[in-house]
Amino acid sequence: MDQTTDSSKSDPDSQEDAARRLVQSLLVGAATFDDVSTHKLVKRIRLNEETTGPWAQAVCKLVERLSRLEQLEKAFDDALLHEKLESMRELAYGASHEINNPLANISSRAQTLLRDETDPERRRKLATINSQAFRAHEMIADMMLFAKPPDLVRENVNLSALVAQVVEEMSLRANEQGTALVATDASDECWLRVDSTHLHVALTALCRNSLEAIGAGGQVTISLAESGDSVAITVRDTGPGISADVRQHLFDPFYSGREAGRGLGFGLSKCWRIAELHGGTIEVNEGDGEQTRFTIRLPRLSNEMTDASPPLVA
C-alpha cells in the first residue's frame, strides 16, 4: 500500500487507483484503517478535493464513517462502564445501610457473649461469628471503594519504602504458608506523586492474590522499574497461570475466579480502580513457565518532585 500511495502524490489517476484499492481493502479488513499510509492518502485527497475521483471521495466517506463508528463504540463502552458503576454504587449505598446495621448488631452481641464465655468450643464459634461479620462489612467497604472511591490525596511518596512496608506487613502470612515474599530493585529511592493509602491498598491486594494463588511454597516478587514518564510496579508469582478466558474478567467486580485457582473477590477490581484514578493502567501477562505478572503503571506528573523529596508519610 505504501508504494501505491507514494506514487499518487502527483498523479491523480494513480491516486484514484490507490483509493480504489484502499476502499476494497477496508471493506475486506478494517484493520488497515489504522495504517499510516491510509491516513497519508486521505490527507492528500482532502488537500486536492477538486481533482478527486469517485474512489477517492469514497475513501474519505468510508474513513469518516469508520472514525465515527470507533467513537460510538468507545462512547458505548464508557456509558456501559458508567452505568455499571452507578448500579454498583446504589447497591453499595443500600447494602451499607440495610446490611451494615444488622452486621454491627451481630458482631456486638457475639463480642458480648464471647467476653463472658469460658467453654473453649463455644468461644471458638462466637469468634467465628464475629470474624465473619467483619468480613461481610469489609466486602461492603470494598464495593464502596470501587463504586465511589474517596478523592486522591497526592503526595511525594518513596515507592521503594512503600513496597518494603507492604512486604513487611505480608511477610507473616507468607511465612505461614512457606512462600518467599521478596522485593527486588527496591533499595534505592523511587519518588512519585501518588495517594500512598490507595496505592498501599492496591499492592496489598496484589500480594494477597498471589499468595492465595500459590497456596504453599513458591515465591512472590515485587519490583520497581522507572522510565522517563512513568513508574511500573510489578508483582510476579509462581502460582498457577491464568487462562485467556479468565484473564478478560480479572478486573470485573462481578466475576469470581476461584475455579481458576485465584480467589479474586474485589481485590483486583480495587487495583484496577486505584490505577485508573491515578491515570495509570494495570495489566496481567503470562511469564515464562507458570509465572504470572501483574503490572501497575503510573504516570509521572509535570510538577512532580524528584529531588529533595520529603520522607514517606505512613
Q: Note whether 198 and 284 are same-domain residues.
A: yes
Residue 132: its pLDDT value, please?
92
Nearest to 26 by CA among 67, 63, 51: 63
**How many whole angstroms separate alpha carbon 91 and alpha carbon 98?**
10
**How many whole angstroms separate alpha carbon 36 and alpha carbon 34?**
6
Establish if 88 belongs to a structural domain.
Answer: no
Q: Note whether 167 and 67 are same-domain residues.
A: no
Q: Note whether 140 and 166 are same-domain residues.
A: no
Q: Note whether 115 and 241 are same-domain residues.
A: no
Q: Note whether 295 and 172 are same-domain residues.
A: yes
Q: Note whether 134 and 165 are same-domain residues.
A: no
| Contact between residue 256 and residue 191 where contact means Cβ atoms under 8 Å apart | no
Q: Note whether 189 and 288 are same-domain residues.
A: yes
Q: Note whether 269 and 160 are same-domain residues.
A: yes
Among 31, 55, 71, the domain-final residue is 71
Q: Note whether 41 and 159 are same-domain residues.
A: no
Establish if 62 belongs to a structural domain.
Answer: yes
Residue 114: its pLDDT value, please?
92
User: Which residues span the domain enclosing 52?
Assistant: 2-71
> What φ, ψ does residue 312 adopt, rounded to 5°?
-65, 130
Q: What total of structural domains would you count in the chain?
A: 3
Helices (H), 177-195: none
Q: Note whether 181 and 136 are same-domain residues.
A: no
Q: Note whether 9 and 44 are same-domain residues.
A: yes
Residue 48: its pLDDT value, please?
65
Establish if 81 belongs to a structural domain.
Answer: no
Establish if 125 belongs to a structural domain.
Answer: yes
Residue 7: its pLDDT value, please?
43
Q: Note whether 134 and 251 are same-domain residues.
A: no
| Contact between residue 18 and residue 41 where contact means Cβ atoms under 8 Å apart | yes
Residue 1: its pLDDT value, please?
43
Establish if 203 belongs to a structural domain.
Answer: yes
Per-residue pLDDT of the chain (314 residues; tens, 9 = 90+): 444 444 444 455 576 777 777 666 666 555 555 566 666 666 666 666 655 677 777 767 777 777 788 788 878 877 886 787 677 777 777 777 788 889 999 999 999 999 989 999 999 999 999 999 988 888 787 777 776 778 899 999 999 999 999 999 999 999 999 999 999 865 578 899 999 999 999 999 999 989 988 889 999 999 999 888 899 999 999 988 777 777 767 777 666 655 444 544 577 888 888 998 999 999 888 655 557 899 999 999 866 644 333 333 32
